[in-house]
Amino acid sequence: MTQSCQGGREPQVPVRVVDPRSELVVDTHELVRHAGQSKQVRRVASAPDGLGVAMIGVPPGSPVALDLRIEAVVEGVLVTGTAQVKLAGSCARCLDLVESEDSIAIQELYCYPDKELDDPDASRLEGDLIDLEPLLRDLVVIDLPFTPKCRPDCAGLCPSCGANLNRDPDHDHGADADPRWAALAGLDVGSGTPDDVADNNEE
């Protein structure tokens, strides 16, 4: 979150070309240089690729519901609001599909292009355009659960055979477990395709 056009964040932003047709690009031409003017932007964009990390993220093409207030201030344009996204990934314990939603709080100042910046990393207007994608990318990753779980008390997998203990709470090998069979069952789970997860979804 950048509250000022000065300040010290680590440089990170490779130059990208802003596509005015992108659903994550907001045109501010009617506001710029009119401090105090504002407008509301409510729209549903589709998620770009690579929003998230390997284990969990926003499915590409899924709806991103933006509800934003765009306000011209002296140094640039201030964007505040939320982005509602869907998340999908794998439970860190049992590898089942994890689906949830996340409401990402947005508060970012986009400085005017001609404003001299002490901080080369402060967000900038591109002409009259605001590109929300880089911001969204950063905020989504910060907001992701560190270890996604299908439910808070997920029982995980049987350490011997890999059976899902959520579906089979009384699972027990007793004294006569066959280690050859255990190895096979373990392989099966390793392929990790969550195809029967409907009963395990979390809101």
- Site residues (vs Zn ion, CB under 5 A): 91, 93-94, 96, 150, 154, 158, 160-161, 163
Nearer to Zn ion, 137 or 171 (CB): 171
Closest distance of CB 154 from Zn ion, Å: 3
- Other beta carbons within 10 angstroms of residue 188's beta carbon come to 11
Closest distance of CB 188 from Zn ion, Å: 12
Closest distance of CB 163 from Zn ion, Å: 4
Nearer to Zn ion, 32 or 163 (CB): 163
Structure tokens at 50: 């690579």
Contacts of 100 (CB under 8 A, 6+ apart): 86, 87, 202, 203
- CB-CB contact of 61 with 50 (8 Å): no
Q: For residue 5, with 0-12 CB atoms within 10 Å meaning exposed, 13-18 middle and 19 or more buried, which class applies? A: buried
What are the strands, taking DSSP E only, across 73-171?
76-90, 97-111, 129-131
Q: DSSP letters along 46-60, please? A: EPPTTEE-SSEEEPT
Nearer to Zn ion, 72 or 94 (CB): 94
Closest distance of CB 142 from Zn ion, Å: 23
CA distance 47 to 50: 9
CA distance 164 to 142: 30
Nearer to Zn ion, 105 or 184 (CB): 184
Nearer to Zn ion, 118 or 172 (CB): 172
Closest distance of CB 44 from Zn ion, Å: 30
